[in-house]
Amino acid sequence: ENLEKARRQARIKLGWKEKDYFLLFATTVTDRYKDKMLFPVQEELDSFSTMNVYESIIDIFAHRPDLFLAFKFRPHDILAERTRTIIYESNLENILVHMHDLKVLLSAADVVLITRSNAGFEALFYDIPVVQYRFPGKPIYLPLKGLGIFL
């Protein structure tokens, strides 16, 4: 009951409708320093590859106006502005970009999508289903499957 009340209050604060279905994508930060570093095992995607993934997700939601997507970026993420521009230029009202208020976003979300974000663990505290996307050929840093707690 407390989680449901917190969910309603969070959706009011965000301006989300109660009946709408929201997927929160808690992104992994891409910054200009990390993007220029050479990783010996290439454990992370570069910004170009990561943006391709974001664009694919945007494309899926562009064809599903009945579903809502909220990207959650950290303030210094270099892909946030490009993502916001794509959404704006495509006139997609069902896709939002947020930079702050992870607690409020988690309270309001129906499901959380992560790649490597710790927000997946935080979502579990709110009893929210977590979907973990694994980049092909890249290791998983948050082994939720091994814990038996992911979709």
Whole-number Å distance between alpha carbons of 151 and 136: 18
pLDDT tens for 4-52 read: 898 899 999 998 988 899 999 988 776 665 555 555 445 566 778 888 9
Which of 82-91, 93-102, 131-140 is modeled with the greatest confidence? 82-91
Q: For 93, what's the count of Cα atoms within 13 Å in the CB-facing half-sphere?
A: 5
SS3 per-residue string spanning 20-72: CEEEEEECCCCCHHHHHCCCCCCCCCCHHHHHHHHHHHHHHHHCCCCEEEEEE
Q: For 11, what's the count of Cα atoms within 13 Å in the CB-facing half-sphere?
A: 18
Average pLDDT for 130-142: 72
